[in-house]
C-alpha cells in the first residue's frame, strides 16, 4: 500500500507540472513583452579640437508603456554622452532639451525624429527597430550640451551653444555634429553584447562622481549651466536613466 501511495503521489505531482510550467512560461513571456525596448539607438557626439576630432557615443534604449496601467509613458534608459576633449576639457550631451524649461521626455524621440527628417517622410514608432543607417541629429533635436571646468564639481557646469562651442571651450573647438543610429534590440534580458544585442551604455557616474551622492548635485549642475525650470524636474534624469 505504501508503494502504491507513493506512485499515486508522483503521478499527482507530475499532473501539476505541466500547468505550472505553462503559467511560468506565460509570466516570463509577458515580462519580456513589457520590458523589451521598442528600439535602441546609438547617439554619437563629434567635436573638432586643436588636436583633431574627438568623439564619444552611448546606446539608449527606448521603452514604450506596454504594461496594464494604460498611462502611455514612454521612457529611455541610458546615460548622457561624455566626450573627453583632452587638456582638461569636455562636452556632455544631456538627456534633456530646452523648450522654455528643461524637457526630459524629448530624448525618447530623438532617433525617431532624426530618421523622419532624414527620410523626408513620417517614420512610425513600430518600424524604428528595423531601420538602418546613420542619420544626423540637428537643430532642435540636439540635446542640451554642457561642459564642466572641473567634472568633480557640479557648480562648474556651463551650457554650450551648438553653433558656438568655442565661446565656452576655447578657440579651435567646434561641434562637428551629432548622429543617431538604430542598433539591434537584442534579447532582453540577455542583451549583454555581441550576438545578444547592444547593451545600454553606462559610465557617466565614473565621469561625474557627484552623481552617486545623496544630495541634489545634479540640480546644482543644471542651475550653474543656467538652465530654466530645474526645480520642477528630477535633475538626475538629465544625466542618467535606469
Over 24-77, what HEC string results? HHHHHHHHHHHHCCCEEEEEEEEEEECCEEEEEEEEEEEECCCCCCCCCCCEEE
Over residues 92-108, the pLDDT tens digits come to: 999 999 999 999 999 99
Query: Comparing 5-14, 56-65, 96-105, 123-132, which segment has the lowest mean pLDDT?
Result: 5-14
Is 225:158 a contact under the CB 8 Å cutoff?
Answer: yes
Q: Judge whether residue 1 has pLDDT over 50.
A: no
Q: What is the mean pLDDT of residues 138-159?
A: 98
More confident residue, 79 or 16: 79
Over residues 17-26, the pLDDT tens digits come to: 566 655 444 4
More confident residue, 101 or 15: 101
More confident residue, 5 or 63: 63
Q: What is the pTM of this model?
A: 0.84
Q: What is the DSSP string of 84-127?
A: EEETTEEEEE-S-EEESEEESSGGGGHHHHHHHHHHTS---GGG
> Looking at residue 33, what is its pLDDT?
46
Banded pLDDT at 185 (limits 50, 70, 90)? confident
Measure the CA–CA gap between 150 and 167, rounded to whole angstroms.
Answer: 17
> Looking at residue 196, what is its pLDDT?
72
Residue with cell 579640437: 49
Amino acid at each position: 500500500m505504501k508503494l502504491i501511495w507513493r506512485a499515486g503521489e508522483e503521478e499527482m505531482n507530475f499532473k501539476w507540472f505541466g500547468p505550472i510550467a505553462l503559467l511560468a512560461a506565460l509570466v516570463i513571456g509577458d515580462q519580456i513583452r513589457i520590458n523589451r525596448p521598442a528600439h535602441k539607438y546609438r547617439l554619437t557626439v563629434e567635436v573638432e579640437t586643436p588636436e583633431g576630432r574627438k568623439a564619444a557615443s552611448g546606446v539608449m534604449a527606448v521603452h514604450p508603456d506596454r504594461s496594464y496601467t494604460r498611462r502611455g509613458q514612454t521612457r529611455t534608459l541610458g546615460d548622457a554622452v561624455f566626450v573627453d576633449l583632452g587638456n582638461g576639457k569636455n562636452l556632455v550631451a544631456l538627456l534633456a532639451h530646452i523648450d522654455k524649461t528643461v524637457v526630459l521626455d524629448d530624448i525618447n524621440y530623438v532617433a525617431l525624429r532624426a530618421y523622419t527628417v532624414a527620410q523626408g517622410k513620417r517614420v512610425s514608432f513600430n518600424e524604428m527597430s528595423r531601420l538602418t543607417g546613420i542619420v544626423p541629429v540637428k537643430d532642435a533635436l540636439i540635446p542640451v550640451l554642457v561642459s564642466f571646468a572641473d567634472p568633480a564639481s557640479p557648480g562648474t557646469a556651463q551650457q554650450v551653444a551648438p553653433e558656438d562651442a568655442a565661446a565656452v571651450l576655447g578657440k579651435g573647438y567646434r561641434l562637428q555634429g551629432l548622429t543617431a543610429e538604430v542598433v539591434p534590440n537584442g534579447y532582453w534580458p540577455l542583451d549583454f553584447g555581441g550576438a545578444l544585442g547592444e547593451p545600454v551604455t553606462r559610465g557617466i557616474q565614473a565621469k561625474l562622481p557627484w552623481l552617486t551622492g545623496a544630495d541634489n548635485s545634479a540640480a546644482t549642475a543644471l542651475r550653474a549651466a543656467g538652465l530654466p525650470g530645474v526645480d520642477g524636474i528630477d535633475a538626475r534624469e538629465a544625466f542618467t536613466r535606469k
